[in-house]
Structure 1
Amino acid sequence: MLHSVVRLVAAPLARFVYRPVVEGRENVPKCGPVILASNHLSFIDSVVIPLVAPRPVVFLAKAEYFRKDGVKGRMMAAVFTALGAVPVERGTHRAAKDSLELARRILSDGKAFGIYPEGSRSRDGRLYRGRTGVAWLAFSTGAPVVPVALVGTDRIQPIGVRLPRIKRITVRFGEPLRPAYPSSSLPVAQARRVATDEIMSAIQALSGQESMACYSEIASAA
C-alpha cells in the first residue's frame, strides 16, 4: 500500500522535476519473476529504477540505511521502505550468500528484483566486470534478466554530494535475456561467468560506457 502511494505521488513529481527519458519499459514483463540487472553510478539509482519501472522492484539495501538517527535518518528509512527495499547486512562472505538466498526467495514469490552486478558504484563512470551472483539467480530461479542502463544519475548525486541536483537522466530497459542453465559439458562456475559476461555486454550496449576487465574495488549495497 505504501509503495503504491509513493509511486502515485513521487513518480509524477520526479518526472516533472527531472524529466527523465525512459526507454524500453515494455521490455519488463508485467508479471512473474524478473531480474533487472543495472549499471551503478549513484546512490540515487535505487530510487530511480523503482520510480520509472512499470512494476514494483525490490532492491537489497545496506541495513545501516534503516538505522540512521535523526529526522533525515527516519526519512531515508521511510523512503527505502516505501520503495520496497529490503535491509541486509553486508561485509562478509556469509552475508553475501544470505543476500543471494534472500533474492532467490523474492524471485520465487514472482517479484521483480533489482541488482547491480558490478557490486558497487562506479567512481569513474566506467562499467566494471560483473559478479556472477546475477547468473546464479537466473539459473536457480529461471527468471529472465532485463539489462538496464542508467545514464546521468552520477550528475544528480555524485559520490560525496549529499543533496540531489536537478539534472536530466536516461533509463533504458533492454530486451530480456534468458541465460541457459549450464550443460553437463560446462563447469557451473564457468557457465555463470559466461552468462554474467553476456548480461554485462547487454548493459554496456545500452549505456555506452567503457568496459573494464577488472572488478570494482569497493563493495557496496547501494
Structure 2
Amino acid sequence: MLYRLTKIVSTPFLQLLWPTEVTGAEHVPSSGPAILASNHLSVLDSTFLPLVLPRQVRFVAKAEYFTGNPVTAAWMRATGQLSIDRQSPTAAQDMLDTAARVLKDGELFGIYPEGTRSPDGRLYRGKVGVSWLALATGAPVIPVAMTGTDKVLPIGASVPKLGRVGVRIGKPMTFTGSETSARDRRRVTDEIMAAIRDLSGQEYVPSYTPARGQAK
C-alpha cells in the first residue's frame, strides 16, 4: 500500500522534472518472477526503473541507506528496497538468498551485474551473481539499459539536475546450465552483459569496475 501510494504521488512529479522515455515495457511480464538486470550509472537508477513499471521491483541496497539520512531511509522503505550489510563476510550470498526468496514469491528483482556504479559511463564486466540467480531459480533475465541518470545525478553529487532519462528494456532471456558450474556462470553473465550493451550503446570494458578513484 505504501509503495503504491509513493508511486502515485511521485511519478507525476518525476516526469515533470525528469521526463522519462520508456521503450520495451511490454517485455516485463504482468505476473510471475523475473530478474531485471541493468547497467548502473547513478543511485537514481533504482528510483526511475521501478516507477516507470506497473509492477513493484525489489532491489537490495546497502544498509547505510536505511540508517543515515532520514529522507533517504524513508524513501528506501517506501519503495520496497531490501537492506543488506555489505561489510558482512557473507554479504554476497546473503544478497543472492534474499533475491531467490523474492523470485520464489513471484516478484520482480532488480540487480546491477557490474556490482556498483560505473565511474565513467562505460559498461564493465558483469559479476556472476546474476547468472547464479538465473540458473538456480529458472527465472528469466530481462536486460535493461538506463540512460541519462548519470547526468541528472553524477557520482559525488547530492542535488539532482534537470534532464531527460531513458529506460530501455530488452526481451526476456532464459538459460540452461548449472549454477554450480563456473563456466556456465561466466557464459551466462557475458551473454547478459552483451544484451545490456546492445541496449545502452555503452563502450564495454572487459574488466571489473575499478575502485573509486582508480578509473582511467
Superposition TM-score, scaled by structure 1 size: 0.92
- Residue 121 (structure 2) aligns with: 125
| Contact 2:136/2:178 (8 A) holds in 1 | no
Following the alignment from structure 1 to structure 2, what is the Cα–Cα distance between the partners of residues 135 and 96? 13
Q: Deviations over 1:147-190 (max 9, x none)?
A: 0000110000001110111110110010000011349xxx7110
**Which residue type is aligned with residue 136 of structure 1?**
W
Distance 1:19 1:59 in 2: 23
How far apart are 1:93 and its partner, in Å? 4.1
**Equivalent of residue 196 in structure 2, options 195, 203, 210:** 203
DSSP 3-state at the match of 2:189: helix
**Corresponding residue for residue 189 of structure 1:** 182
Within the alignment, does 1:169 sit opposite 2:162 as a pair? no
Residues 128 and 189, structure 2, Cα contact 8 Å, conserved in 1: yes
The answer on 1:213 being equivalent to 2:209 is: no
More displaced stretch, 95-104 vs 202-211? 95-104
Show the 5 A alignment for 1:19-58: 19-58=19-58
CA contact (8 A) 1:120 1:218 kept: no
Query: Which whole-Å deviations, capped at 9, do the CAs of 1:97-132 have from their partners, x for residues lacking one?
Result: 111111111111111000000001001100000000
Q: Name the CA distance, whole Å, in 1 between partners of 2:148 and 2:174.
A: 28
Contact preservation (8 Å) 1:59, 1:113? yes
Which of residues 119, 125, 132 is equivalent to 1:136? 132
Match of 2:13 in 1: 13
1:76 CA displacement: 0.8
Q: Secondary structure at the match of 1:105?
A: helix
**Cα distance between partner residues in 2 of 1:215 and 1:140:** 23
Secondary structure, counterpart of 1:61 in structure 2:
strand
CA RMSD of aligned residues (A): 1.4
Q: How many Å apart are 1:19 and its aligned residue?
A: 1.1
Q: Is the Cα–Cα contact under 8 Å of residues 65 and 76 in structure 1 kept in the other structure? A: yes
* 3-state DSSP of counterpart to 2:146: strand
The share of aligned pairs that are identical, in percent, is 50
How big is the shift at 1:92? 4.4
Aligned to 1:79: 75
Alpha-carbon spacing, 1:97–1:81, altered in 2? closer, same or farther (3 Å): same
Kept in 1: contact 2:128–2:185 (CA 8 A): yes
- Counterpart residue identity of residue 99, structure 2: A
Give the deviation of 1:13 after TM superposition: 1.7
**Which of these residues, 102, 105, 109, is aligned with residue 106 of structure 1?**
102
Segments of 5+ residues of structure 1 without an aligned counterpart are none
Residue 36 of structure 1 deviates from its aligned partner by 0.3
Which letter does structure 1 place at the counterpart of 2:159? L
**TM-score using structure 2 length:** 0.95
Secondary structure of the residue aligned to 1:217 is: coil
Q: Which runs of 4+ in 1 moved over 3 A?
A: none
**Structure 2: tracts of 5 or more residues without a match:** none
1:18 Cα deviation from its structure 2 partner: 1.1
Report the counterpart of residue 3 of structure 1 in structure 2: 3
**What's the offset of the Cα at 1:217?**
2.3
